[in-house]
Amino acid sequence: MPCLPVIDILKCNNCTSCLSFCRQGAFYVDVDGFVKIDYRACSGCGVCAYQCPYGAISCVESVGADVISYSERATVTSSTLSSFK
């Protein structure tokens, strides 16, 4: 099953390593300097979760949830999850 990456904002220090490792360009820095994920660009490969030097990125699976809200900076909806099935 593909990886749906989620950033733990308590562990992430916005080092931007994920921007370098993501071949799809799914990670970006917003106007406030925080790393975010563009789920439309994410292929679900999971490389980001293994390469994050701070262990701030983890993979979740769709488990029939309508909405998974991880933080103010990352909200995953059922429509996002359906693209990973």
Q: How far is CA 37 from CA 6, 16, in A?
A: 8, 12
Query: Quick one: tokens of 13?
Result: 């220090």
| Structural domains of the chain, count | 1
pLDDT in tens, 46-77: 999 999 999 999 988 754 444 444 444 444 55
Structural domain range at position 22: 4-82
pLDDT at 31: 93
Q: Is the pLDDT of residue 45 over 80?
A: yes
pLDDT at 79: 54
Q: pTM for the full model?
A: 0.70
User: What's the rounded Cα separation, in Å, for the pair 3 and 17?
Assistant: 18
CATH number of the CATH domain containing 23: 3.30.70.20
| Mean of all residue pLDDT scores within the chain | 79
Q: What is the pLDDT confidence band of residue 2, given thresholds at 50, 70 and 90?
A: confident
